[in-house]
Amino acid sequence: MARLRAALIGATGLAGQQFIAALKDHPFIELTGLAASPRSAGKTYAEALKTASGMTAWFVPEPLPAAIAGMKVVAGDALEAKDYDLVFSAVEADVARELEPKLARDIPVFSAASAFRYEDDVPLLIPPVNAGHAPLIREQQRRRGWKGYVVPIPNCTTTGLAVTLAPLVERFGVKAVLMTSLQAMSGAGRSPGVIGMDILDNVIPYIPKEEHKVEVETKKILGALRPGGEGLTPHDLRVSCTCTRVAVMEGHTESVFVSLEKKATVAEVTQALREWKGAELARGLPSAAPRWIEVLDDPFRPQPRLDRDTHGGMATTVGRIREDGVLENGFKYVLVSHNTKMGAARGAILVAELLRAQGLLG
């Protein structure tokens, strides 16, 4: 099988490092180009990671692959689409807004940035949840005159929530969702990141723009592709959330309250979550989890330290499923989702795998 040549923009950042770790030994995607800021251009990747103190700023648990360490880094605006089959983007939204369309004119771009998430002709994909939205990229290509396309992944906080809501929407219908998140420090990256003196012994009760992202993205992901594939109709459920930052390195915890359209029991809700398989096409992808949701009976679980790496960080772990006496047909539960794996790099790679399986890549 011919391997697809991939470039990575934002290679030196924390999200970029997660992409590098996740793509090692991938069966059909080969990382052949690295791009970062102009200050890294011309250096090897290992040199670009060196700080002024001499530390190698590689922050993921997996070792840095030797082949990547010796690869030359170029500036993001120097990437040539003709040299690659696809691009992964791990840059901030303002940089993504400039660089991603230039590349998408010719090749697909899979992005962890928010720059294009809310545009009408852009699908926001979680493969087990809404694989059927992928054909919207044909409308994007038609409107913009591109050979490629931009497909962003959702905000990492949205991902775990949407995954757990999908089986409830399918089985019972969902009218409203209330959620409070306790989000890991890695979600803010390292530059500027979260200052240790601010987060230790503390909870930061506000993350700029995060709550709006969750509310809008959840409705879009759970929505429906319009007839003719010309856009998406958002789901009409109501979503309200409070997003906070806590002193946890990896793994977002969320406390979720759901109002169902139909009456149900705890056993039925638990069964719906436990038995959910998601889109059939997503199950056999190289990065797929054997189960997208794991339900735990222990009332002290899930916990980020114990459960974030379930199935390689690609599963959402759920526990404490209970009836709620305030909401109509109300239930509540706690979830843990890995924000830099399923919620970022591995999630974007999973989307690329899905589009290839659908004949929309390569």
- Catalytic one of 133, 156, 235, 338: 156
Q: Examine the residue annotation and report whether 241 is marked as an active-site residue of this protein.
A: no
Identify the CA nearest to 131 among candidates 285, 271, 4: 285
Token pair of 57 as six digits: 């700023």
Q: Examine the residue annotation and report whether 156 is marked as an active-site residue of this protein.
A: yes
Using DSSP, state whether 138 is helix, strand or coil.
Answer: helix
> Distance between terminal CA atoms of the chain?
11
Rounded Cα gap, residues 206 and 343, in angstroms? 20
Identify the CA nearest to 310 among candidates 251, 353, 362, 253: 251
Residues 6+ apart with CB under 8 A from 187: 156, 157, 245, 252, 339, 340, 343
Q: What angle do CA 335, 341, 342 make, to 5 degrees?
A: 55
Rounded Cα gap, residues 259 and 330, in angstroms? 5
Beta bridge partners of 229: none
Is 158 exposed, middle or buried, given 0-12, 13-18 or 19+ CB atoms closer than 10 A?
buried
- Catalytic one of 235, 241, 243, 252: 252
Helix 156-171 vs helix 266-275: angle between axes, to the nearest 10 degrees? 120
Identify the CA nearest to 91 among candidates 302, 310, 345, 286: 345
Distances from the Cα of 4 to the Cα of 1, 42, 127, 321, 356, angstroms: 9, 24, 20, 42, 10
Beta-carbon count within 10 A of 145 CB: 7
The amino acid sitting at 207 is I
Residue numbers annotated as active site: 156, 252
